[in-house]
Structure 1
Amino acid sequence: MLIKLLIANRGEISCRIIKTAKRMGIHTVAVYSDADADALHVQMADEAVHIGPAPSKDSYLQAERIIEVARKVGADMIHPGYGFLSENAEFARLCEDNQIIFVGPPVPAIDAMGSKSAAKKIMEAAGVPLVPGYHGEDQSPALLKQHADKMGYPVLLKAAAGGGGKGMRQVHRAEDFDDALAAAKREAMAGFGDEHMLVEKYLTQPRHVEIQVFCDMHGNGVYLFERDCSVQRRHQKVIEEAPAPGMTEVLRAQIGEAALKAAAAIGYVGAGTVEFLLDTDGRFYFMEMNTRLQVEHPVTEMISGQDLVEWQLRVASGEELPLKQSELQINGHAFEARVYAEDPDNEFLPATGSLNFLQPPDESDYVRVDTGVRQGDKVSVYYDPMIAKLIVWDEDRPKALRRLVKALSEYRVRGVTTNIDFLYNLANTKAFKQAQLDTGFIDKHQSEIFIKDKGDIASLLPLAALYLVLNQEHRQLSLTQNSQDPFSPWQSLSAWRANESHEQQLDIQIHDTLHQVKVLQLNTAAQSLYQISGEGFTVQCQGHIEGDMLTAIIDGHRQKVTFSSQGADDEEGCSLYTQHSALHFRHILPDLGLLDGDAHGTGLTAPMNGTIVNLMVKPGEQVSKGQVLVIMEAMKMEHSLKAPSAGKVVEFFYQPGELVDGGAELVNFEASES
């Protein structure tokens, strides 16, 4: 009998589900919005049906519309993926009412875990250990603050209906509580339509360890071991791994049994993830249960050898679990890095644009790329900006980590800003290599991850300068070979001047700092030799470029580094990947008078398309540097726009609730003269 499966999602998870379903002989039906008409998941599916405009609230979150499509095409099952309607009890109930199998847990289980406060009460009754906190119904700000003051700071504010870090704030001081609560409530209401908050004691050095559980309709349940998801930014996971480093068999059994106890307490069926905080003393505390498949599930698949999407489809069809607990075993180690269109140097602000060039590393038994985009696709403002999940496996953690680093250095994306260099540097830190993990990892190791140390920058600048000079020569050689007068000095970019030394100055921007580097070409009969000097260094270099590899000899030290250019002239940026770190830089070309120095004015502009949430000051008000002026929401997250200096807000050009385009001027701001 032909089974029809409708996938009520988009992106890489839809592509993943379609692959597994087709392998199982299941007919697939995709849904898509205006923005996704040519998306990869639409091209892969056997059928595809349009469901509405680009905003998710008008398309992918339209439960009645999706049910209507499912009935029209005769779908037997609906897989909600993760996100959107995957944990929506009303949608699961609609499927049930229309005799369509919902690939997920029963409605009561979703209801039970849909509220974090209700979930805490259920887990407490089931004997699952909890973090100290307040999970009550009284939501008066004064009472919430009273509980925070009583348990002591720092505390964590969490949206009861939330997930993915939205509606969540750390509060380290009592005087910051009210502002943090207001912001968390706004974000929770925008994201979930519910501003109910929890207040919990914030553990200062916890690890985020989660257990993959699976239960069937016949009373069987297993846990497929654990994942360490401690490395996060803005409470969203960045790199996950399985198994968790340092996990003993005793602790694994304890936390796994606690996860199954949590699942049993709500009559769970299907794939679920029970998330715990693991403290330095080995104690663990229940955080929440996600009643869906998680983004990071591939690392579990890699170490267990199981296809969890296939398990979902079989269990939803009424079959028993494929394996018993005693038949499951861990094989090797796996990492997953989330490749995002975002700017780590600008508080991880999501980026939009076209994927003008997209070349992931080659896939193999060791490297896997889960993606929902292709070269030429657009990263829009409407959805999560994840480009892909890069997953690697090997027989132990050190070998798997080396594969991750290599694969990141081979990932090529042009057209949008990505976090690839950030991921490369993070994976190369000494602390990450030694598995010294906790949820504050990125903040603790900022200097190493973002290459802010002057000594580190000084050691990498000669490589950047040498690459720029050699790349100039390479481009000029191509021009000269096609020239009618290849010997003309005007065809040269080697800083040639009559009766002058071959010297040029390069302006290289790293982060927000401009570094001036002088390059002097030395006369030698052999390969071109350069003297490169900048603040704190003078070295002699030579080298050559072959493909995307730079071979450099600097003061007798020979090394090979990989490079990834964002454009033909390097003005858009280039990344160099050494053995220990990645350096992203831009070659700033000389201003020949074509740029308008006053082009940027004195206003503040929207970093991307979004909605104005709140104006934090009044027109005419004097403000200090760094003070928040406007809060806007974009890509499901709040972003605060701050005063660049002390000054006065003259006028706001938009009001709360209004839509703005990226680059639109939001505020007329006058900086103070002194």
Structure 2
Amino acid sequence: MFKKILIANRGEIAVRIARACRELNIKSAAIYSDADRNSLHVRHADEAYYIGSSPANESYLNYPKIIELAKKIAADAIHPGYGFLSENAEFISAVENSNITFIGPSAKSVALMGEKTAARLLMKKNNIPVVPGSEKSLTNVNEAMEIANEIGYPVMLKASAGGGGKGMRKVFNENELKVEFERAKNEALKAFGNNAVYLEKLIEEPKHIEVQIIADKHGNYAHLFERECSVQRRHQKIIEESPSTFVDEFIREKITKAAIEAAKACNYYNAGTIEFLMDKNKNFYFLEMNTRLQVEHPVTEMITGIDLVKEQISIAQGNKLSFSQNDLKINGHAIECRIYAEDINNNFAPSIGQIKLHKPPLGPGVRLDSGIDVFSDVPVYYDPILSKVITWGKNREEAIERMKRALSEYQIVGVITNIPVFNWIFSHEVFINGSFTINFIEKEFLPKFLTESKLQSNEKYELVSAIFGAMIKNSEQSNAVFINNNKSNNWLSQNYE
């Protein structure tokens, strides 16, 4: 039985894990950088330790220091959350060799599925459909052109070592390929420390459908149905829902079976997600496997009643799954909106600052996974996700209406957020009827909306900021005292250098 878990992450996912630990009567230990000294996850954990300066490679990616800290504080296990070190096989191997339990899959499984071309080969070997493309990383642009001519344009260049839209380039002809090949390699190197890229056929107007799987170390596997993740900007999801309106029972049975077979092919255990592209005829193709907890895991929890973080911890302790496939059924519909600090009128550029007001949405069927509070800083160093709003309804229509109501209640002052984008999406016929694809934002997010949004959102932002500015300035001293009292009562902060 774990007594203490070190959370090697920050923000809303670190808060989420700390809450699960508390419900399991396990102590949680947070880490924080200079930029995160006042972060919500630091105050939510039972213990908190300084890990390094603000840049991620000096703090949240500094795994020798994280493992050393885990040993020093007698942590039984490390939970990586998502991002940062969560899919770093070298880190996982180092944890495993330190007599500390990694709450996630084995280093071997992560290494196998993390290298995209190797994963594609493994899927083909196990009769799981993959998008036509290169079977290994490309060494030069001539090799890329040869494969592109063979499978036909348009094609997609992708980073072999990563995801999240980094190193991805759509290419429609040979001239574009010559230009984009080096750009993709350079971006991949910058994002993942590996400039390897591969090429695959571009499936035009696809759906992005993923399947949540989970397995224990005793050979038991289960899926928790699919998620619809096609609303994306710059290849990053901003809305997810479960189940997908596009997936019927016949396709659901086929795609979930394929996901289980994919997990078995790499001897996987713990929580993971198999991502697929699905064309208009409902043919699906393996895209990649995320060997970690997903940002969008709450929608799955809402429709199944399974706490995925608690299940992860239980599996890491050597227990069997607490449920079987036959125990699971889809209950209602859930939608998640990722709330980012970003300026939609400036090409979604990050909005940096301090939170001056945070009034979360409440009411039936509403869940908020948040990493911010009043006076939280939104630094330039990390992904600018602030929180996730999740709503549940007995059907999709009710979940959408609850989300619209929740977003209308949600107030954040101090940074610009992407909430106006959701207001537009939830009133758009293509979203309402479920016919949207991964190109929805790119095609439908018109300059007309941006112009109108700039007038509405910025005027509102400036007005609310002015109203609360003086009040906040006058109350900062008393609020700081409250926070410090809360700090001394609820968490232990120690410097570790």
Tell me if TM exceeds 0.5. yes
Q: Aligned residue for 2:144?
A: 144
For the residue of structure 1 that corresponds to 2:90, the secondary structure is helix
Residues 36 and 377 of structure 2 are in contact (CA less than 8 Å); yes or no, is this contact kept in structure 1?
no
Q: Aligned residue for 2:472?
A: none
Please report how far the alpha carbon of residue 178 of structure 1 lies from its aligned counterpart in structure 2 after TM superposition: 2.2
Unmatched tracts of structure 1, length 5 or more:
461-507, 513-562, 573-674
Match of 1:567 among 442, 446, 463: 463
Spell out the pairing of 1:48-59 with structure 2 (5 A cutoff).
48-59=48-59
Please report how far the alpha carbon of residue 37 of structure 1 lies from its aligned counterpart in structure 2 after TM superposition: 1.3
Deviation per CA, 1:282-326: give whole Å up to 9, x if none: 110000000000000000000001100000000110000011111
Tell me which moved more, 134-143 or 367-376: 134-143
- Give yes or no for the alignment of 1:335 onto 2:335: yes
Please report how far the alpha carbon of residue 408 of structure 1 lies from its aligned counterpart in structure 2 after TM superposition: 1.3
Deviation per CA, 1:181-231: give whole Å up to 9, x if none: 222111110111101111111111110000000010111000000000001
How far apart, in 2, do the equivalents of 1:294 and 1:436 lie? Answer: 24
Deviation per CA, 1:577-631: give whole Å up to 9, x if none: xxxxxxxxxxxxxxxxxxxxxxxxxxxxxxxxxxxxxxxxxxxxxxxxxxxxxxx
Residues 412 and 564 of structure 1 are in contact (CA less than 8 Å); yes or no, is this contact kept in structure 2?
no
Please report how far the alpha carbon of residue 444 of structure 1 lies from its aligned counterpart in structure 2 after TM superposition: 2.2
Residues 40 and 376 of structure 2 are in contact (CA less than 8 Å); yes or no, is this contact kept in structure 1?
no
Q: Aligned residue for 1:446?
A: 445
Residues matched between the structures, number: 468
Q: Aligned residue for 1:347?
A: 347
Q: Aligned residue for 1:384?
A: 383
Residues 420 and 457 of structure 2 are in contact (CA less than 8 Å); yes or no, is this contact kept in structure 1?
no
How far apart, in 1, do the equivalents of 2:380 and 2:209 lie? Answer: 31
Closer/same/farther in 2, CA of residues 2 and 239 from structure 1, 3 Å limit: closer
How far apart, in 2, do the equivalents of 1:388 and 1:112 lie? Answer: 31
Residues 416 and 461 of structure 2 are in contact (CA less than 8 Å); yes or no, is this contact kept in structure 1?
no
Unmatched tracts of structure 2, length 5 or more:
469-497
Query: Comparing both structures, which one devotes a greater share of its residues to helix?
Result: 2
Please report how far the alpha carbon of residue 149 of structure 1 lies from its aligned counterpart in structure 2 after TM superposition: 3.0
How far apart, in 2, do the equivalents of 1:180 and 1:344 lie? Answer: 26
Please report how far the alpha carbon of residue 172 of structure 1 lies from its aligned counterpart in structure 2 after TM superposition: 2.3
Superposition CA RMSD, Å? 2.0
- Give yes or no for the alignment of 1:296 onto 2:274: no
How far apart, in 2, do the equivalents of 1:75 and 1:174 lie? Answer: 54
Closer/same/farther in 2, CA of residues 234 and 451 from structure 1, 3 Å limit: closer
Q: Aligned residue for 2:271?
A: 271
Aligned residue identity for 2:10:
R
Q: Aligned residue for 2:90?
A: 90
Spell out the pairing of 1:225-374 with structure 2 (5 A cutoff).
225-362=225-362, 364-374=363-373
Aligned residue identity for 2:320:
E
Q: Aligned residue for 2:424?
A: 425
Aligned residue identity for 2:301:
E
Query: Comparing both structures, which one devotes a greater share of its residues to strand?
Result: 1
Deviation per CA, 1:76-99: give whole Å up to 9, x if none: 110000011101111111111111
TM-score (norm: length of structure 2): 0.91
Q: Say which one has the larger Rg.
A: 1
How far apart, in 2, do the equivalents of 1:324 and 1:564 lie? Answer: 50
Deviation per CA, 1:351-387: give whole Å up to 9, x if none: 211212221212x440011111111112111000011
For the residue of structure 1 that corresponds to 2:435, the secondary structure is coil
Aligned residue identity for 1:396:
N
How far apart, in 2, do the equivalents of 1:383 and 1:449 lie? Answer: 31
Aligned residue identity for 1:234:
R
Q: Aligned residue for 2:63?
A: 63
Please report how far the alpha carbon of residue 449 of structure 1 lies from its aligned counterpart in structure 2 after TM superposition: 8.1
How far apart, in 2, do the equivalents of 1:197 and 1:89 lie? Answer: 19
Closer/same/farther in 2, CA of residues 509 and 433 from structure 1, 3 Å limit: closer
For the residue of structure 1 that corresponds to 2:161, the secondary structure is coil
Please report how far the alpha carbon of residue 567 of structure 1 lies from its aligned counterpart in structure 2 after TM superposition: 2.6
Aligned residue identity for 1:47:
E
How far apart, in 2, do the equivalents of 1:45 and 1:153 lie? Answer: 51
For the residue of structure 2 that corresponds to 1:153, the secondary structure is coil
How far apart, in 1, do the equivalents of 2:448 and 2:113 lie? Answer: 36
Q: Aligned residue for 2:433?
A: 434
Structure with the larger RCO, 1 or 2 (CA within 8 Å, 6+ apart): 2
How far apart, in 2, do the equivalents of 1:509 and 1:80 lie? Answer: 41
Residues 216 and 270 of structure 1 are in contact (CA less than 8 Å); yes or no, is this contact kept in structure 2?
yes
Residues 208 and 230 of structure 1 are in contact (CA less than 8 Å); yes or no, is this contact kept in structure 2?
yes
Residues 353 and 379 of structure 1 are in contact (CA less than 8 Å); yes or no, is this contact kept in structure 2?
yes
Please report how far the alpha carbon of residue 246 of structure 1 lies from its aligned counterpart in structure 2 after TM superposition: 3.0
Deviation per CA, 1:532-577: give whole Å up to 9, x if none: xxxxxxxxxxxxxxxxxxxxxxxxxxxxxxx9554358899xxxxx
Please report how far the alpha carbon of residue 111 of structure 1 lies from its aligned counterpart in structure 2 after TM superposition: 0.9
Please report how far the alpha carbon of residue 447 of structure 1 lies from its aligned counterpart in structure 2 after TM superposition: 2.7
Spell out the pairing of 1:482-561 with structure 2 (5 A cutoff).
509=455
Please report how far the alpha carbon of residue 451 of structure 1 lies from its aligned counterpart in structure 2 after TM superposition: 5.8
How far apart, in 1, do the equivalents of 2:448 and 2:219 lie? Answer: 47
Tell me which moved more, 14-23 or 135-144: 135-144
Please report how far the alpha carbon of residue 341 of structure 1 lies from its aligned counterpart in structure 2 after TM superposition: 0.8
How far apart, in 2, do the equivalents of 1:229 and 1:121 lie? Answer: 24
Residues 240 and 336 of structure 1 are in contact (CA less than 8 Å); yes or no, is this contact kept in structure 2?
yes
- Give yes or no for the alignment of 1:412 onto 2:411: yes
- Give yes or no for the alignment of 1:167 onto 2:63: no
Residues 215 and 271 of structure 2 are in contact (CA less than 8 Å); yes or no, is this contact kept in structure 1?
yes
Residues 422 and 449 of structure 1 are in contact (CA less than 8 Å); yes or no, is this contact kept in structure 2?
no
Closer/same/farther in 2, CA of residues 312 and 74 from structure 1, 3 Å limit: same
How far apart, in 2, do the equivalents of 1:208 and 1:113 lie? Answer: 19
- Percent pairwise identity: 45
How far apart, in 1, do the equivalents of 2:94 and 2:465 lie? Answer: 55
How far apart, in 1, do the equivalents of 2:344 and 2:234 lie? Answer: 11
How far apart, in 1, do the equivalents of 2:437 and 2:172 lie? Answer: 18
Q: Aligned residue for 1:543?
A: none
Closer/same/farther in 2, CA of residues 175 and 570 from structure 1, 3 Å limit: farther
Please report how far the alpha carbon of residue 137 of structure 1 lies from its aligned counterpart in structure 2 after TM superposition: 3.8
Q: After TM superposition, what 4+ stretches of structure 1 lie above 3 angstroms from structure 2? A: 508-512, 563-566, 568-572
Please report how far the alpha carbon of residue 450 of structure 1 lies from its aligned counterpart in structure 2 after TM superposition: 2.1
How far apart, in 1, do the equivalents of 2:46 and 2:465 lie? Answer: 43
How far apart, in 2, do the equivalents of 1:178 and 1:351 lie? Answer: 34
Aligned residue identity for 2:383:
D
Q: Aligned residue for 1:207?
A: 207
Q: Aligned residue for 2:491?
A: none
Deviation per CA, 1:447-487: give whole Å up to 9, x if none: 398266xxxx6xx9xxxxxxxxxxxxxxxxxxxxxxxxxxx
Q: Aligned residue for 1:41?
A: 41
Residues 426 and 449 of structure 1 are in contact (CA less than 8 Å); yes or no, is this contact kept in structure 2?
no
Aligned residue identity for 1:423:
F
For the residue of structure 2 that corresponds to 1:567, the secondary structure is helix
For the residue of structure 2 that corresponds to 1:134, the secondary structure is coil
Spell out the pairing of 1:576-591 with structure 2 (5 A cutoff).
none
For the residue of structure 1 that corresponds to 2:336, the secondary structure is strand
How far apart, in 1, do the equivalents of 2:446 and 2:323 lie? Answer: 46
How far apart, in 2, do the equivalents of 1:568 and 1:62 lie? Answer: 39
Q: Aligned residue for 1:178?
A: 178
Residues 425 and 448 of structure 1 are in contact (CA less than 8 Å); yes or no, is this contact kept in structure 2?
no
Deviation per CA, 1:319-345: give whole Å up to 9, x if none: 000111111000000000011111222
For the residue of structure 2 that corresponds to 1:288, the secondary structure is strand
